[in-house]
Amino acid sequence: MVSISVKHISKSYKSVNALQDISFEVKEGELFGLIGPDGAGKTTLFRILTTLLFADEGTATVAGFDVVADYKSIRNSVGYMPGKFSLYQDLTVEENLDFFATIFGTTIEENYDLIKDIYVQIEPFKNRRAGKLSGGMKQKLALSCALIHKPKVLFLDEPTTGVDPVSRKEFWDMLKRLQQKGITILVSTPYMDEAALCDRIALIQDGKILEIDTPEAIVKYYPKPIYNVRANNMYQLINSLNAYEHNHSVYPFGEFVHYTDNRTDFNPDHLKAYLESRNLSNIHIEKTIATIEDTFMELAK
């Protein structure tokens, strides 16, 4: 069954086309990722699907309800964690949670099972005001509040931005557990490594979807052989590769540079000789596998 259906959605602000003809579907119980940088249109899409904003064109349904005609039903069926911390800073942890439970006509006790894993981590601070929590604790409280009415669909707008790798990993472990409880999750992130943790992803930039598929399949769209290149001096290496007339793309990737060539009969030995002529040493060139980030950059070019 389809949990989220988006058909030809467009939205503009003054001179900016925030979303241009966006269409995709998310199945029930799926963990679907919107992967793209700031300004790609992710938040606009979230606001349309959570009935906080009208689209200029197109239609969308969430949990079977139309985002315009049935907006009240949607608000009862979805949980939304905005990118910006939006809880009441002057209420305590427990008061915030109680407030959201009451608004949705439920109690903390009734759905405690769903949030237990997450809430126990912040329960020792339940009398602390939300504004005084650390970033990681705020994030856990916001997620608890978004879940307290047992939503069918959960919208998470950049829940891990600015969060360190350890906390990010813990957060994704929590999402996996929620998914097992049957909740459909639409999550956005600028971190390409998190894309691999989703069932399916849409790569989005400048209001357009570049590609939609599973993380494993999406890297197959990469059109060229890709090489890891390393040398004694990273800065000189990047400059030399950028100056090489046959380059197609040159992107630093950790300890390597990912290099693609625009010739079909590329021979790595020729590149090595060129780099040596530029006074680089310890040159190492080997074929590697494209990552989601490589694919994103190639599609966004």
Partner 1 sequence: MNNNKVIQVEGLTKMFGDFTAVNAITFEVDKGEIFGFLGANGAGKTTAMKMLIGISNPTSGNANVAGFDVFTHTENIKKNIGYMSQKFALYDDLTVRENITFFGGIYGLSRKRIKEKSDALIEELGLQNVANKLVGALPLGWKQKLSFSVSLIHDPKIVFLDEPTGGVDPITRRQFWELIYKAANQGTTVFVTTHYMDEAEYCDRVSIMVNGKIEALDTPKKLKEQFKAENMNDVFLKLARG
296 binds partner 1 (CB under 8 A): yes
135 binds partner 1 (CB under 8 A): yes
Nearer to partner 1, 111 or 188 (CB): 188
297 binds partner 1 (CB under 8 A): yes
Nearer to partner 1, 75 or 168 (CB): 168
What residue ranges in 206-246 does DSSP mark as E strands?
A: 208-213, 226-230
Least spacing, CB of residue 144 vs partner 1, in Å:
18
Residue 213 bridge partners (DSSP) = 201
Residue choice 136, 150, 228, 272 for contact with partner 1 (CB under 8 A): 136
Residue choice 69, 103, 217, 234 for contact with partner 1 (CB under 8 A): 234
Least spacing, CB of residue 301 vs partner 1, in Å:
8
List Cβ neighbours of 275 (8 Å cut-off, separation of 6 or more).
Answer: 229, 231, 237, 240, 241, 283
Nearest CA among 109, 100, 41 for reference residue 75: 100
Site residues for partner 1, 59-78, by CB under 8 A, read none
Nearer to partner 1, 216 or 235 (CB): 235
Residue choice 109, 216, 245, 255 for contact with partner 1 (CB under 8 A): 255
Contact (CB, 8 A) for 185 and 179: yes
58 binds partner 1 (CB under 8 A): no
Contact (CB, 8 A) for 209 and 178: no
Nearer to partner 1, 89 or 134 (CB): 134
Cα–Cα distances (Å) from 217 to 191, 192, 211, 221, in that order, read 18, 15, 10, 8
Between 94 and 133, how does the x/- string for binding to partner 1 read (CB under 8 A)?
A: ----------------------------------------
Please return the burial class of 235, using the count of CB atoms within 10 Å of its CB with bins 0-12, 13-18 and 19+: exposed
Nearest CA among 53, 83, 46, 85 for reference residue 190: 83
223 binds partner 1 (CB under 8 A): no
Residue choice 8, 27, 38, 223 for contact with partner 1 (CB under 8 A): 38
299 binds partner 1 (CB under 8 A): no
Report H helices in 148-229. Answer: 165-180, 192-195, 215-218
Binding span for partner 1 by CB under 8 A among 19-27, 101-109, 191-199, 260-268: 191-199
Residue choice 13, 127, 180, 235 for contact with partner 1 (CB under 8 A): 235
Residue choice 192, 201, 241, 285 for contact with partner 1 (CB under 8 A): 192
Nearest CA among 266, 182, 173 for reference residue 224: 266
173 binds partner 1 (CB under 8 A): no
Site residues for partner 1, 144-163, by CB under 8 A, read 158, 161-163
The pair of three-digit structure tokens given for residue 96, joined into one six-digit string: 């915030």
Nearest CA among 132, 130, 140, 131 for reference residue 167: 140
Binding span for partner 1 by CB under 8 A among 46-54, 62-70, 74-82, 246-254: 246-254
Contact (CB, 8 A) for 188 and 46: yes
Cα(193)–Cα(120) distance, integer angstroms: 28
- Residues in touch with partner 1 (CB under 8 A): 36-40, 134-136, 158, 161-169, 190-193, 205, 234-235, 238, 251-255, 293, 296-297, 300-301
